[in-house]
Amino acid sequence: FHEPNHMIWASAKCIIARGAQGQFPIVQNMTVTEGGIANLTCRVEHNDNTSLQWSNPAQQTLFFGDKKALRDNRIELVRATSQELTISISEVTLADEGMYTCSLFTMPVKTAKAFLTVLGVPKKPEINGLTKPVMEGDQITLTCVTSGSKPAADVRWFKNEKEIKGAKEVNASGKTFTVKSSLQLQVNRHDDGMAYTCRVDHVALTATHEETTQVLEVHYAPYVEIKHSIPATLEGQYLKLECVPHGNPSPDPVLWTKDGGELPDLERVIVEGRELTFMALNKTDNGTYRCEATNHLGTSHAEYKLVVKDAPTTSSPSTTSPAPTLPDTTGPLDSKHLNSAVTGNRDPNALPGPPDHALIGGIVAVVVFATLCLIIVLGRYLARHKGTYLTNEAKGADDAPDADTAIINADGNHAHAEEKKEYFI
């Protein structure tokens, strides 16, 4: 009677052992940012209602099935079934990091371990070592510090959004790290208004990054430049000179002088702030104009030499008509034009071309030249015959011994001359 009972117990024990061989808890490692929520899940593919349990790195039971074992308001039950036990830890801290164990109470007990990694969020960086204002020529060291990061944060420097390299230093503080980055600067006037940014990048900062910006204020002595409104200065023109001082603090107001003295004729030469305006230039304005600017660090000046030139004389508009543009004969000819050029026949449908001005001008020149030649020949001919006439008329006067005889001879010659007739053709 006892032997059959012993065999039944042995058979049941064997069935439980075979069933337990397919039961293994399954877990996954977790990474969460400090202050976030960690969900720990333990699953079993085949379970015969055996209980599941979660315990923390200190081996304290958190939940046994659906029963809470540790009094911690941050730990809550999410789901408890025969095949799953999920719990959540809210407001996670660095102290929560470690190895968590899921236990399946079989014979023997099976366990699985999940490591919870907590990321330390770096704090907003601070920039130290900057005093305002900084004098030109000073050497300063800017230090950017961020703490609380885990793992160590990456610190980078930017000068007006352009990355520059700094010296990095990492120090451990418990589970977190403090990161410093230093930047040495030899300050000059070009650094005035320059923005230096310290940027912190970290795996915990997935959506954005932390950064701090400081703007340098550099004090420096002034320097001056003069801008003019026109490149060439002609008599009667309008001219404006602008004095542009650069300096910090701003050198204002500025002082205008001419040839080392005061400005003349202030009614025609107007000074408004930094501008010097000539309403109408004349040669009495010639000279060297000086703009001077001063702040507590020094004085600077710039000069402009004004030389007024004569305005160009305006000539009367030309009445000569422009030479006509001859048609382009270098282009390809069509069949009609080619036939006309070869045979000499004019196309009746073709439009009359423009007159040949060169030919007309040549003909006019020949006509004028021929006319001038004709006038000259005719003039010489007339002059020669007129001289002969006067000589014959005076023959009696040349042979007479006295004036009375000359007159008588002249009268005779006149009478004789009536017989002569001259014809001019």
Please report which helix (H) or strand (E) contains residue 236, including its range: none
Q: Which residue would you say has higher pLDDT here, 379 or 267?
A: 379
- What is the pLDDT, as a whole number, of residue 52? 93
Residue 242's Cβ-side half-sphere holds a number of Cα atoms within 13 Å equal to 6
Task: Give pLDDT tens digits for 367-411.
Answer: 988 998 899 988 888 877 655 444 444 445 555 565 555 445 554
Architecture of domain 221-306: Sandwich (2.60)
Q: Which residues contact 208 (CB under 8 A, 6 or more apart)?
A: none
According to DSSP, the residues that pair with 159 across neighbouring strands are 162, 196
Q: Write out the two tokens for 289.
A: 């104009």
- Answer whether 25-119 and 221-306 agree in fold: yes
Q: Which residue would you say has higher pLDDT here, 12 or 19?
A: 19
| Residue bearing tokens 């007129």 | 386
Q: Which CATH superfamily is domain 25-119 in?
A: Immunoglobulins (2.60.40.10)
CATH number for the segment(s) 123-216 = 2.60.40.10
* Domain ranges (residues) in the chain: 25-119, 123-216, 221-306
Q: Write out the two tokens for 132.
A: 């305002």
The string of DSSP codes covering 281-324 is --GGG-EEEEEEEEETTEEEEEEEEE-PBPPPPPPPPP-SPPPP
Average pLDDT over residues 261-274: 82
Average pLDDT over residues 54-77: 94
Q: Which residue would you say has higher pLDDT here, 285 or 315?
A: 285
- What is the pLDDT, as a whole number, of residue 131? 87
* CA angle centred on 278, ends 290 and 292, rounded to 5°: 15
**For residue 288, pLDDT beyond 70:** yes
Average pLDDT over residues 414-419: 43
Q: Which residue would you say has higher pLDDT here, 164 or 47?
A: 164
In angstroms, the CA 75 to CA 39 distance is: 10
Q: Which residue would you say has higher pLDDT here, 206 or 149?
A: 149
Q: Collapsing DSSP states into helix, strand and coil, what is residue 136?
A: coil
Name the band, by pLDDT with cuts 50, 70 and 90, for residue 123: very high
**Range in 25-34, 90-99, 193-202, 384-393 the model is least confident about:** 384-393
* Sequence letter at residue 341: A
- What is the pLDDT, as a whole number, of residue 22? 58
Average pLDDT over residues 271-284: 89
In angstroms, the CA 361 to CA 265 distance is: 61
Average pLDDT over residues 225-244: 90
Please report which helix (H) or strand (E) contains residue 9, including its range: helix 2-20
